[in-house]
Structures are given as C-alpha cells and as structure tokens.
C-alpha cells in the first residue's frame, strides 16, 4: 500500500445534520413559491425519466442472458442464504438486476433533470473528446463553471484521478475560449455522500493538477484543502471537490438539496400509510434515522409539499448526505 500523502486533508470532520433543521428547511421551501415551482419542475422531470428507465428494464420472464448473472456470485449467495432450490435464487435475481441497472443510470437521470432547473447546461460528453470530463456547464462571465459529476464518494481509482487532472489541464483553455470566458471554476461534484466517506481519490485530482504544472503556475495548492488555484496560460482557474450537500448548495444555493430530495420523493413514493411506530426494522439504526424529533410528530407538523407518510422518506434520503444525525 502506498504511503499516505502528507498533504491529504487530515482529520476530516463528520458532517452532522439536525432533524429539526431539516424539517425547518422543508417548511421554508414549502412556503416559498420559487422553491415550490422548482420542486414541481424537478418532480415532473424525475417521474418522466424514471418511468422511461423502468420500462427499459428486463421483466421476470426475460431469458437468463438478459440478467448478466455471475455464476460465482450466485453460488456464494446460495450458500449464504442456505438455498436448496433454483426457484429460491431465481426470486432474487430480478431485484438484484433492477438495483444494479439503476445504480449505473440513476445519477445520470438526476443530473439531466436538475442541471437545467438551476441554470446549468448538461454536456453530452463523448469519450476521448475535449468535453469527455464534463457533465455540466454554467456561464457567468467572466467565469465558466464546469463540473464532472459522479454518483457516490467512492467512484474513483488512481487512473481516473490522473485522467481528470489531464483533462482539466489539456482542455481547460479550450473550454474557456469556446465559451468566451477568462476564468475557470472546475468542480468534481459528487451527488451524495460526505468528505469523510470519500476514498480521497477525488482529492488526488487536485494534487495531480498542481504537480503537473510548473511551480510558478500554482497560485494555491490543495494541501489540507479541497480546492486549488492555478493558471492555465494567463487565465485564472480553480478546481474544487464538492461532495453531497456541498455540491447541491453550489449548484442551486442552500435550498437546492431539499428541493431535489422533496421532488424525488414526490416523483417516486406515493402518499400512503407510514410504518407503525413499533416497526422492527432489520437495519439496526433505521428506526432512529426515520423517527421524528420531539415536537414534530404528525399532525402537529404539517406541510403541503409532502404528506405525513412521506416525511420518513425525507429523513431516510437526507441521511445519505451526512455522517450522522444529532441526537
């Protein structure tokens, strides 16, 4: 194992959310006409994209080759579950395929819908092109904001980090000239997770950028930081790693994460009956995660944008953007 880089940010603090703050933020967007408008637009886009994707997935009666099963995984899983009949494992193959298919496409669906709502343009980035590292652009002259987006905090390896650094240095000047900008603000954005959950390969993009530049071109290295500043020719540039809530706040301001989560719930989870208070969840801390804080039990807490049965889903979603909830 390679030694830890001494400049890597150390003792990264945990991202801690307050359930009370989450519910107050929900009430804020509920009473803001602009937020409600964005939520409804996001909801419509999410529902359309999710519906189209689900229709493209394999059905239970599809041939085996459709599911791309791994024979070794099937055997290990059968042993773990104590299966003796093929019909038992057959019942698990379709849900597993659905999850894996959605894992690869869900992030792109979110990007394509959300970026235009917040004034960005989605970038069709073909392989081995000047835009292959880009997923989104926003022009705010003289600044060009450019972003590559990944679903989760552990999506990178060393080779990918180097490729992103090379793309910024090689194509950054053409991104600027093509868009008539003179300042580049590049973000490696992660749709969910926290800095503490990152495998830190994202930070190595920044390290590789400054190490590949002549020293006089480095204005501010990323030592113990999640951003760096440098020169591309004579143009100023900044590269940043923005994970989870930090990315969404950068994209659309403080309400953005709440708006996206509410829209996803409205698009994907029908109002109905919530789990009873004495539900015994299998996941050890799930009850603690989705339980309402004191003073916010239904019907005392009421908003129009979500129904009472959908509030636990909001707490469930928001837990993916922090390391813990406050007690």
Q: Is residue 89 part of a domain?
A: no
Q: Which of 254, 286, 311 is the last residue of a domain?
A: 254
> Cα angle at 240 between 234 and 245, to 5 degrees?
150
Residue 242 falls inside a structural domain: yes
- Examine the domain organization and report whether 144 and 219 are in the same domain: yes
Which residue segment(s) compose the domain that 292 sits in? 256-325
Residue 299, pLDDT > 80, answer no
Task: Please give the helix or strand (H or E) that residue 140 lies within, else none.
Answer: strand 136-140
The phi and psi torsions of 58 (rounded to 5 degrees) equal -70, 150
pLDDT (0 to 100) of residue 298: 63
Q: Say what the pLDDT of residue 2 is.
A: 64
Say yes or no: 122 and 248 in one domain. yes
Are 191 and 152 contacting, i.e. CB atoms less than 8 angstroms apart?
yes
Q: Give the HSE-up count for residue 137: Cα atoms under 13 Å, Cβ half-sphere.
A: 19
User: What CATH number does the domain containing 227 carry?
Assistant: 3.40.1560.10
Q: Are residue 305 and residue 212 in the same domain, yes or no?
A: no
pLDDT band at 64; cut points 50, 70, 90: confident
First to last CA, the chain: 37
What is the spatial distance between Cα 65 and Cα 84, in angstroms, rounded to a whole number?
A: 22
Same domain, yes or no: 223 and 266: no
Q: Which tens digit of pLDDT belongs to each residue from 153-200?
A: 988 888 999 999 999 999 999 999 999 999 999 999 999 999 999 999
pLDDT over threshold 60, residue 1? no
- Are 229 and 316 within one domain? no
Percent of the chain with pLDDT over 90: 71
Asked whether residue 159 is domain-assigned, the answer is yes
Same domain for 124 and 250, yes or no, is yes
Q: Are residues 140 and 185 in the same domain?
A: yes
Instruction: Look up tokens 């603690």; give the residue.
Output: 288
**In a shared domain, residues 148 and 240:** yes
247 with 233, same domain: the answer is yes
Do 131 and 240 fall within a single domain?
Answer: yes
Same domain membership, residue 238 and residue 180: yes
Please say which residue of 203, 236, 254 terminates a domain. Answer: 254
Same domain, 123 and 241: yes
Q: Domain count of the chain?
A: 2
For residue 272, pLDDT beyond 70: yes
Tens of pLDDT, residue by residue over 93-140, are 888 877 777 776 788 888 899 999 999 999 986 666 888 889 999 999
Mind listing the pLDDT tens digit for each residue in 212-250? 999 999 999 999 999 999 999 999 999 999 999 999 999
Select from 211, 228, 254 the last residue of a domain: 254
| Residue 163 token pair | 């490729």
């Amino acid at each position: 194992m390679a030694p830890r880089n001494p400049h890597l940010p150390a003792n990264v603090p945990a991202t801690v959310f307050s359930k009370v703050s989450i519910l107050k933020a929900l009430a804020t967007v509920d009473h803001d006409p602009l937020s409600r408008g964005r939520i409804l637009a996001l909801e419509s886009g999410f529902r359309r994209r999710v519906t189209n994707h689900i229709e493209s997935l394999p059905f239970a009666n599809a041939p085996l080759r459709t599911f791309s099963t791994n024979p070794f995984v099937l055997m290990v899983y059968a042993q773990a579950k104590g299966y003796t009949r093929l019909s038992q494992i057959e019942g698990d193959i379709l849900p597993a395929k659905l999850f894996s298919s959605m894992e690869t496409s869900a992030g792109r669906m979110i990007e394509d819908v959300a970026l235009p709502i917040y004034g960005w343009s989605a970038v069709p980035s073909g392989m081995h092109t000047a835009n292959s590292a880009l997923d989104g652009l926003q022009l705010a002259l003289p600044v060009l904001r450019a972003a590559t987006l990944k679903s989760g905090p552990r999506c990178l390896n060393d080779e990918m980090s180097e490729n992103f650094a090379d793309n910024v240095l090689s194509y950054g000047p053409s991104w600027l000239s093509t868009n008539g900008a003179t300042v580049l603000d590049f973000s490696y954005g992660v749709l969910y997770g926290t800095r503490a959950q990152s495998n830190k390969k994202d930070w190595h993009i920044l390290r590789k950028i400054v190490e590949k530049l002549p020293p006089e071109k480095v204005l501010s290295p990323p030592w113990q930081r999640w951003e760096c500043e440098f020169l591309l020719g004579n143009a100023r540039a900044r590269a940043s790693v923005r994970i989870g809530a930090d990315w969404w706040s950068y994209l659309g301001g403080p309400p953005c994460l709440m708006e996206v989560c509410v829209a996803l719930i409205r698009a994907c989870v029908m109002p109905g009956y919530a789990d009873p208070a004495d539900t015994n969840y299998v996941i050890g801390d799930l009850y603690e995660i989705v339980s309402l804080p004191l003073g916010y039990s239904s019907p005392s807490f009421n908003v129009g944008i979500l129904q009472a049965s959908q509030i636990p889903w909001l707490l469930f979603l928001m837990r993916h953007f922090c390391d813990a909830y406050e007690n």
